[in-house]
Amino acid sequence: NSLKGKVFLGQRKGGMPQMAGEFTLRKKGIDPHADLELIQNIDFANIASAYASGTGEFVQLFEPQASIFEKEGRGKVVASFGVESGHLPYTVFMTKQSYIDKNDATVQKFTNALYKAQQWVDASSPEDIADAIMPYFKDSDRDIVVSSVKRYKEQGSYASDPIVDEAEWNNLLDVMEQAGELKERVAPDAIVDNSFAEKAKQAK
């Protein structure tokens, strides 16, 4: 309820961050386009700096930026759209069927490597994971990256296998449908191929 009537700095229309955010707000009884002053015309790379300079009273951010702002006293994390929106196949790997038909061994090796990495993340400490990914966050303090990873692990944000199950798929369609970005629902077996993921798990 504290969001109603406030200026909310969101993400671009049709993008997964914005769709997941709107889905969560609706679940909580908030119409993002009627109950908020929603700003969506700021480039993704500039959203954090826009908020820091005084635009908006609430903002949707990714880690480690959210934790950086907390440490700097610029704001406080009040909720996680990732948790509230439910399990979503938020990031997936796609290729053409023609490529799979000609390079199934390569696709399997890629999926095996992905599963191995997911299992490592699932079993490793936030500190070990942070050390592995620090080269990609050179401008962030290690303690911030550790706390970001810890938050995501505690929330169950990291998938532990490459399978996109039917419940996750339908949740994604619900998110897209509510956002007005889906013309018609598609059965999972029309676009999702879990066979490589299943084999990766069996080959463990």
Residue 204, pLDDT score: 63
Alpha-carbon distances of 100 from 106, 188, 189, rounded to whole Å: 8, 18, 16
Residue 91, pLDDT score: 86
Which pTM does this prediction carry? Answer: 0.83
At 24, phi and psi to the nearest 5? -65, -45
Closest CA to 95 of 87, 86, 107: 107
Closest CA to 40 of 53, 21, 23: 21
Please give the Cα distance from 191 to 127 (Å, whole number). Answer: 36
Say how many CA atoms lie within 13 Å of 149 toward its Cβ. 22
Q: What is the DSSP string of 98-128?
A: HHHHH-HHHHHHHHHHHHHHHHHHHHS-HHH
Closest CA to 65 of 157, 150, 139: 139
Residue 133, pLDDT score: 96
Helix, strand, or coil (residue 38): strand
Do the beta carbons of residue 127 and residue 153 sit within 8 Å? Answer: no
Residue ranges, CATH 3.40.190.10, the chain: 7-84
Please give the Cα distance from 204 to 201 (Å, whole number). Answer: 5
The first and second tokens of residue 79, run together, are: 């909720």
pLDDT tens by residue, the chain, 204 residues: 889 999 999 888 888 889 999 999 999 999 999 999 999 989 888 999 999 999 999 999 988 899 889 889 999 998 888 888 888 888 889 999 999 999 999 999 999 999 999 999 999 999 999 999 999 998 889 999 999 999 999 988 999 999 999 999 999 999 999 999 999 999 999 999 999 999 999 986
**Topology adopted by domain 7-84:** D-Maltodextrin-Binding Protein; domain 2 (3.40.190)
